[in-house]
Structure 1
Amino acid sequence: MASPEDGVAASVQLLWHEPAVGRRGPRPKFTIDAIVAAATAIADEDGLDAVTMQRVAERLGTAKMALYRYVPGRTELDAVLLDRSLGGPPASSDADWRAALTAWTLALHERAVAHPWAVTLAQRPHVPGPGELAWYERGLEAMSELPLGGGERLDLLALLAGHAQSMVRQQAEGPHPEQNLAAQLGPVLAARSADYPRTSAAFADAARDGDRDAALHFGIERLLAGVAALIAERTSSDVA
Structure 2
Amino acid sequence: MEGMPSPTALDLLWGTRDRPRRGPKPSLTLERIVGEAIALADAEGLANLSMQRLAERLGCAKMALYRYLPGKSELTALMLDFGMGAAPGLVDSEVVVAEDVPAEPPWRRQLRDWTVAVHRGMLTHPWMHELVVGVRPLGPNEIGWFEAGLTPLAETGLSGPERLDAIALLAGHARALAQQAAGGPGLESEMARQLAATLSARADRYPHTLAAFAEPGGPGARDNALNFGIDRILDGLAALMATRAGD
TM over 0.5: yes
Q: Which amino acid aligns with 2:190?
A: N
- Is residue 2:79 matched to residue 1:71? no
Q: Quick one: which of 170, 185, 188 aligns to 2:180?
A: 170
Which residue of the partner structure matches residue 112 of structure 1? 122
Q: Match for residue 58 of structure 2?
A: 60
Matches of 2:41 and 2:58, distance apart in 1:
15
Provide the identity percentage.
47
> Equivalents in 1 of 2:164, 2:140: separation in Å?
17
Q: Report the Cα offset of residue 213 of structure 1.
A: 3.2
CA–CA distance in structure 1, aligned partners of residues 134 and 26 of structure 2? 31
1:29 Cα deviation after fit: 1.9
Contact kept? 2:19, 2:29, Cα under 8 Å? no
Q: Which moved more, 1:28-37 or 1:101-110?
A: 28-37
Match of 1:122 among 132, 155, 161: 132
Alignment size in residue pairs:
231
> Which residue of structure 2 aligns with residue 233 of structure 1?
243
For 2:175 and 2:130, locate their aligned partners in 1 and report how far apart those are by CA, in whole Å: 9
Unaligned runs of 5+ in 1: 1-5
- CA deviation after TM superposition for structure 1 residue 75, in Å: 0.9
1:219 matched to 2:229? The reply is yes
**Paired AA for residue 120 in structure 2:** E
- Return the structure number with greater helix share: 1
How many Å apart are 1:20 and its aligned residue?
Answer: 3.1
Q: In the alignment, which of 78, 81, 92 is matched to residue 79 of structure 2?
A: 81
CA drift of 1:89 comes to 1.8
Cα root mean square deviation, aligned: 2.0
Q: What TM-score, normalized to structure 2?
A: 0.87
TM-score (norm 1): 0.89
Q: Secondary structure at the match of 1:213?
A: helix
Structure 1 partner of 2:95: none
The 3-state SS of whatever aligns with 1:225 is helix
Per-residue CA deviations over 1:9-51 (Å, capped at 9, x if unaligned) read 6111111224434433200221111111211111111111111
